[in-house]
Structure 1
Amino acid sequence: MAWRIIPLELGRLAVLPKILVWDKNSNHEGETGRIQVPLIGWLLLNEQTGEKILVDSGGGEDEEFGTKYHNPLTCNPENHLEAALRKHATTVNEIKTVILTHLHWDHAYGVLKLPQAKVIVQKAELQYAVAPDHEFIRTYELDLPDRIPYFLRYFKQIQTVSGDVELTAGIRLLFLPGHSAGSQGVLIDTKEGSYIIPGDLVNIKRNWEESLPPGIYNDLEACYASMQKLREIADENKARVLFDHDFAAFEQFAQVR
């Protein structure tokens, strides 16, 4: 079963480089310069059946809110989920399945625009999101007064899986914990070969090329183990690994149409 992968730019964050790559040999002390990184949603189109699946949904459209409580957020009208899907002849109502690589706000907020969709999350991620380590409370928005955390607002849409699971023909979910307790990747078969969306285990090209974990993690040892697992699966399936917060991800598809 062949799928087509279309990366959607759903906004941009201004972040410190140290949150993208953890490198014990780098000294980030006093680092203040931020860089722009994309928030990417991945539209999967089944070329036989016409089915449409979304992997990750962006961090929402409220720039003021995102900037105040997270990182400086830019989300122009063309980056709104409805508009980004519309460029590819897709409406939000056509998305019946959303796969979330993890429940961090910048990947999972946009689900609020998809009330028709079932939301596929690793069970370990959902369990961790409701009671995370203290340093990640804000990431899941558990500490904001008078505001129900975004993922609890679509709680009844969530369907959990555990471990590596074949979701449907041509799409396999890969349990890749470390960045968060229940992070997962998605292995997808296309006409051009297999691709893996790895979530924030591989933020940028450097993570993959130098086998460096992300700068944000709940378990560094698990990050290294997941990176090794990802390499083995990529080699076994001759799969290309995509970059989750890197403009290079769009270049990876410049010739694949």
Structure 2
Amino acid sequence: MAVWRIKPIHVGDVYGDFSFNVAYTDMGHKWWVPVYVWFLTNGEQKVLIDTGFGDPDEANRLQSLFEVRTPGPLAEILREKACSPEEIDIVIFTHLHWDHCGSTDLFTNAELFVQREEARFAVAPPDFCGVAFNSPAIGRTPSWLGHPLSLLDGDAQILENLSVITTPGHTPGHQSILVQTADKLYGLAGDLFNLYANLKPQGRVKFVPPACLDFLAWYHSARRLHAACDEIIPGHDPAVQEEWIG
């Protein structure tokens, strides 16, 4: 049975309002939140979950609500900590917000997976959220546009012990990743849960959302992922270490 190992890789940071990560909390408080990509390998295949925000100068120019910084080009970071971009067999996008799907051109040999509903929405979202997708609807060209995409219609098995589960709410076609390692089944949340604070809030509620387009859909997705795996890893928490998991 093929099992996977997971390596979170820190590829940059985004400076913005804390309430984007825990809705309606500490509004006005700005902080740097880490951006990760997630390298998975079973000893044969190499998979990357999300691809970061791409060129930082372009991101700073296009994203007026945020500031970004990066320790270096994504290709160099991957070569140092995992493998070259050309060696990646599969890229899975949790969703198509600007900080999760940059630098697609690097992955010349990879099959790109995303939910069909996410791609459909990202091309022509309502104008109030077009910037979040760098959408063609507002005259921009996201890095994934023009690349062949493997469009998924719901939950799907990608490889043995590696699957996606639909978790809409943050975006309409958001998906999270289920990864079987040697010791447990992990759920890579993407932006379903940005922080451990979303998973373990103070008070009587079980979960607290990040910024979402549909809070009710998010709530059902949160419960769904929680029931589907042994442990959830949030998408942007500073406590996530760049160490092998599993």
For residues 108-161 of structure 1, the C-alpha deviation after alignment (integer angstroms, 9 at most, x for no partner) is 01222212211100111011111212211111212697653322132x2x1111
CA distance in 2, matches of 1:126, 1:16: 26
One-letter amino acid of the structure 2 residue matched with residue 75 of structure 1: T
Q: If the length of structure 2 is used for normalisation, what is the TM-score?
A: 0.90
Pairing 1:198-237 to 2, within 5 Å after superposition: 198-210=189-201, 211-215=207-211, 217-234=212-229
Relative to its length, the structure with more helix (as a share) is 1
One-letter amino acid of the structure 2 residue matched with residue 229 of structure 1: R
1:66 aligned residue = 59
Sort the Cα spacing of 1:27 and 1:202 in 2 relative to 1 into closer, same or farther, 3 A. closer
2:156 aligned residue = 165
**Runs of 5+ in structure 1 lacking a partner?**
none
1:100 to 93, 98, 102: 93
Pairing 1:24-43 to 2, within 5 Å after superposition: 26=25, 28=27, 31=28, 33-43=29-39
Aligned-pair CA distance for 1:74: 0.2
Contact 1:141 1:150 in 2 (8 A): no
CA distance in 1, matches of 2:137, 2:171: 20
2:204 aligned residue = none
SS at match of 2:221: helix
Aligned-pair CA distance for 1:213: 1.0
CA distance in 2, matches of 1:145, 1:122: 22
Aligned-pair CA distance for 1:192: 2.5
SS at match of 1:129: helix
Q: How large is the RMSD of aligned CA atoms in angstroms?
A: 1.9
2:5 aligned residue = 4
Aligned length in residues: 238
For residues 83-112 of structure 1, the C-alpha deviation after alignment (integer angstroms, 9 at most, x for no partner) is 222123511111121000001110001222
CA distance in 2, matches of 1:205, 1:195: 14
Q: If the length of structure 1 is used for normalisation, what is the TM-score?
A: 0.86
Contact 2:125 2:135 in 1 (8 A): no
CA distance in 2, matches of 1:231, 1:180: 18
Q: Structure 1 stretch 217-226 or stretch 140-149: which is displaced more?
A: 140-149
Corresponding position: 1:124 with 2:135: no
Aligned-pair CA distance for 1:223: 0.6
> Once the two structures are aligned, what percentage of the paired residues are identical?
29
One-letter amino acid of the structure 2 residue matched with residue 220 of structure 1: F
CA distance in 1, matches of 2:137, 2:54: 16
